[in-house]
Amino acid sequence: MEDYYIVKLVGLGVISWAAIFILVRMIFPKLSFNSCNRIVSTIHAFGAVTLSSLSVQDWSCPVCPTASKSSPFQMQAIAVTLAYLIYDLVCCLFDKQIDHANSVHHFVSIIGLGAGLGYEMCGSEMVAALWITEISSPFLHMRELLKELGYKDTDLSLAADVSFAVVFTLARMVGGPYLSYVTLSADNPQLIKAMALGLQLVSAFWFYKIARMVKYKLFKRSTQHSSRAA
């Protein structure tokens, strides 16, 4: 019965996220397909971080207890994000520009979260992963929305870029490796461990790209200021 409830929740979630996207398209008809999807993604990010925070069982050790049975609230939080990832993966197929790295990230995350729901365990590790992966998402989508709204190469755009890079680095390259270590060290199913390692490798790849982006933006801004001073 509980398995049926989770499957039903995921299915309803996919429909709900699609409905939110359609609503956003109706409210902002002048925005591109990609930007409307980013607004939905931002809504999910805030929701995922909130649900993850509320489902932590022990704030003195947020990833504890490890390799344990997931609580009902953790299962619901995971199901909401799993539904979103399925929606977003399908939604990205309708966009003209397919981000292969993002598609791999979604694929790995869907398998990992689906496995967590299937095993009904690793709830503490899963909600910690949701928090770590989604905390930087609003900054990511903000910088892309600013470009479409005409604020590219402005101080506001640079602030969004730097904020995203800092939050992403702290979450994915500090919290991420620690969570991966905890997940790999605990008595978790091999599939969960493989997905945790895969997610960290994708995060490391993105960190490399983000570091290059920030370096380019800062160099470009420095060059512009030097030219104006001359």
List the beta bridge partners of residue 121: 69
Per domain, the residue ranges of the chain are: 2-229
Q: What is the mean pLDDT of residues 211-219?
A: 82
Answer whether 0.95 is exceeded by the pTM.
no
Report whether pLDDT(225) > 60.
no
Inter-residue contact 81 to 44 (CB < 8 Å)? yes
Higher-confidence position of 88 and 217: 88
Cβ contacts of 167 within 8 Å, gap of 6 or more:
135, 136, 139
Q: If residue 30 lies in a helix (H) or strand (E), which one and from where to where?
A: none
82 pLDDT tier (thresholds 50, 70, 90): very high
Q: What is the pLDDT of residue 1?
A: 44
- Mean pLDDT, rounded, of the chain: 88
Q: What is the pLDDT of residue 91?
A: 86
| DSSP string for residues in 172-215 | IIIIHHHHHHHHHHSS--HHHHHHHHHHHHHHHHHHHHHHHHHH
Q: Percent helix, strand and coil across the chain, each rounded to 5?
A: 80, 0, 20
Q: What is the pLDDT of residue 23?
A: 97
Q: What is the pLDDT of residue 215?
A: 84
Tokens 């770590």 appear where?
Answer: 132
In 3D space, the residue among 89, 51, 101 whose CA is nearest the CA of residue 72 turns out to be: 51
